[in-house]
Structure 1
């Protein structure tokens, strides 16, 4: 069997860490290609514009200032050029990292996440989950593994967001600042519910789902600070309460986000794999992702999976253990040592003797 993952050399991982740390200091992101500064003559002088292409490939013009020679305009030009230079640097970094095997997403998904970042919604409490989060986790762990290209973006709001006092946003309006024409559509999961998903019109397949914690899958839950109704999904709070900083990368963007810790992500995948009805491909994907992260963590941080499995809510633990048993075979085929440790972790959780989670472990996944 082909190994579930390989590890980037230390020098390459250092390059990624430099890019990640630099990205964490970014303020508002320019959404589009780096572009150029163009001079345009008018009767009273020369004025400057930033010309670039957005995520749809549409040409855009943004007024910088003028006329040249005006102090305020000259400062605006310098700042605009610095922004262009920074975007070019990010483009080159992503190009290098993609060639080395790091996971990247498409332009429209990157633009969507950048819009959320620009409103500080990840810092406020949103957490990226799903396959895009899995790619970000693999990148941060410094491993190459099978990833899944997807056009869906899943985001969790586990608690009311920490927005500035009195601030309420419209989630659809936030998404539209990506310059992508999102619309709201009913989920159709439960008749009469007001939960919505956000998608691009026509044949476009990009979907953005806002999720909250809840025992009734698909139930509509109001998120007043974003002016929208989200979908409830079981054990979302468990998944994201131990989260970490990460980045996502697309051709033109490096976006700071928050994602679940690897161990919580893996354990929740064990549960979700067994919760799907007649979705064989997604079940197998969930199990493969769980098995891969189990192997990485057992090699680097023994005991983390044991603790995370023990912390899983008791009402879903039996289902989660079924997923763990299904994933065990892939773990054993990758590494006998990891398989033995994981089998012991399963046995420990079954018997109730797993190591209790300790708060100190969160230091490995610092939250902004």
Structure 2
């Protein structure tokens, strides 16, 4: 795999920071003020404004985050350098060959980002998230693994219920991009919708971890922070969206997003590949899962992040028999010429974190 030149990696990091700054500035006007609120022995920042003479608060984040705390103190000084950031995005796409999303996909993610989805600790998942990793890791990944016709977003139910804030109505946000968007009633209860689709069959779906019994996987979960949308519970998803990372999507002037950590995405894809159906669509999805997993492992190894990879791998492996079976099956799907590199990278990482690879069925 080819590394992105250090000049462009530096440029991407600058864009990332400036995009975050601009998004923060645009979220909060100088007419309001920041206030702290305590909940369950933790303090959180909220932004308070007056609407029709009544105070309205918008969730910002935990006060323990130095990054947020610093911006609360200096938000009036932040400037929106839209034109300059557009040039940076254009340079990174055209000269550094970093991937940009298909324009409509980018517009959808940007609209939800502007509406506050990532501020409310939503996470972009799936192939659209995978498109963000080349800039984040500084490694060019196979473009064949980046094709998609949907956008998936996830949020922990506990977070959605606790933050006392919400997106505007999701359908309104999507209709502002394309008026043909409609909600799709959930099969278990038509009052809820976890998916939205336009006339071109582009689909937006909301997901949440299923940490209970399998019977919940067929039900829609109410999500108070998602603007009227529900979410589809999925197993293994809590592992994927734990400790996500911030980055920027290369669309227009840059879109600030939150994505899973690359090492968690790679391990999760190994598990997911083992759960695909044995039919033509399932085989196609499995091949894509494995290509993404193997490519990210190779990128993590190349950037000497063996330890991060091994920590995620060991965490998943130790979660139980179904997790171990999924990982082992996923590894078996990787082509022989790539599997050796993947397993060797895992062994080196396990050694780095003082784990015996034989305990993970990875004996030399």
Report the TM-score, using the length of structure 2 for normalisation. 0.71
Deviation, 1:328, is: 6.7
Deviation, 1:273, is: 0.7
Change (3 A) 1:298 1:174: same
Q: Which moved more, 1:224-233 or 1:87-96?
A: 87-96
Distance 1:132 1:143 in 2: 17
Do the aligned partners of 1:328 and 1:343 also contact (CA within 8 Å) in 2?
no
Deviation, 1:327, is: 2.8
Do the aligned partners of 2:23 and 2:256 also contact (CA within 8 Å) in 1?
no
Do the aligned partners of 1:218 and 1:233 also contact (CA within 8 Å) in 2?
no
Change (3 A) 1:180 1:249: farther
Distance 1:183 1:324 in 2: 39
Distance 2:242 2:124 in 1: 12
- Partner in structure 2 of residue 153 of structure 1: 151
- Partner in structure 2 of residue 259 of structure 1: 259
Distance 2:90 2:275 in 1: 38
Deviation, 1:87, is: 3.5
- Partner in structure 2 of residue 309 of structure 1: 313
Instruction: Find out whether 1:103 has 2:99 as its counterpart.
Output: yes
- Runs (5+) with no aligned partner, structure 2: 27-78
- Runs (5+) with no aligned partner, structure 1: 31-81, 355-368
Q: Which moved more, 1:94-103 or 1:236-245?
A: 94-103
- Partner in structure 2 of residue 359 of structure 1: none
Deviation, 1:174, is: 3.2
Of residues 342, 345, 358 in structure 2, which corresponds to 1:341?
345
Distance 2:358 2:333 in 1: 15
Which SS does the other structure have where 2:100 is aligned? Answer: coil
Deviation, 1:280, is: 0.9
Alpha-carbon deviations, 1:143-184, whole Å to 9, x = none?
Answer: 111131212101001133388646564222233344654210
Distance 1:161 1:255 in 2: 22
Aligned 1:176-195 pairs, distance under 5 A: 176-178=175-177, 181-186=180-185, 188=187, 194-195=192-193
- Partner in structure 1 of residue 171 of structure 2: 172
Instruction: Find out whether 1:324 has 2:331 as its counterpart.
Output: yes
Do the aligned partners of 2:266 and 2:294 also contact (CA within 8 Å) in 1?
yes
Alpha-carbon deviations, 1:286-327, whole Å to 9, x = none?
Answer: 111111111121231122222111111324221122112323
Deviation, 1:260, is: 0.5
CA RMSD of aligned residues (A): 3.0
Aligned 1:350-361 pairs, distance under 5 A: 351=359
Alpha-carbon deviations, 1:310-358, whole Å to 9, x = none?
Answer: 111324221122112323735346x5xx54233577995672599xxxx
Distance 1:98 1:119 in 2: 25
Deviation, 1:195, is: 4.2
Alpha-carbon deviations, 1:52-87, whole Å to 9, x = none?
Answer: xxxxxxxxxxxxxxxxxxxxxxxxxxxxxx96xx44
Instruction: Find out whether 1:123 has 2:119 as its counterpart.
Output: yes
Change (3 A) 1:116 1:178: same
Which of the two has higher C-alpha Rg? 1
Instruction: Find out whether 1:209 has 2:213 as its counterpart.
Output: no
Number of equivalent positions: 290
Distance 2:343 2:132 in 1: 25
Which SS does the other structure have where 2:246 is aligned? Answer: strand
Which SS does the other structure have where 1:198 is aligned? Answer: strand
- Partner in structure 2 of residue 88 of structure 1: 83
Do the aligned partners of 1:270 and 1:327 also contact (CA within 8 Å) in 2?
no
Distance 2:337 2:222 in 1: 40
Which SS does the other structure have where 2:147 is aligned? Answer: coil
Distance 1:255 1:179 in 2: 19
Distance 1:107 1:17 in 2: 22
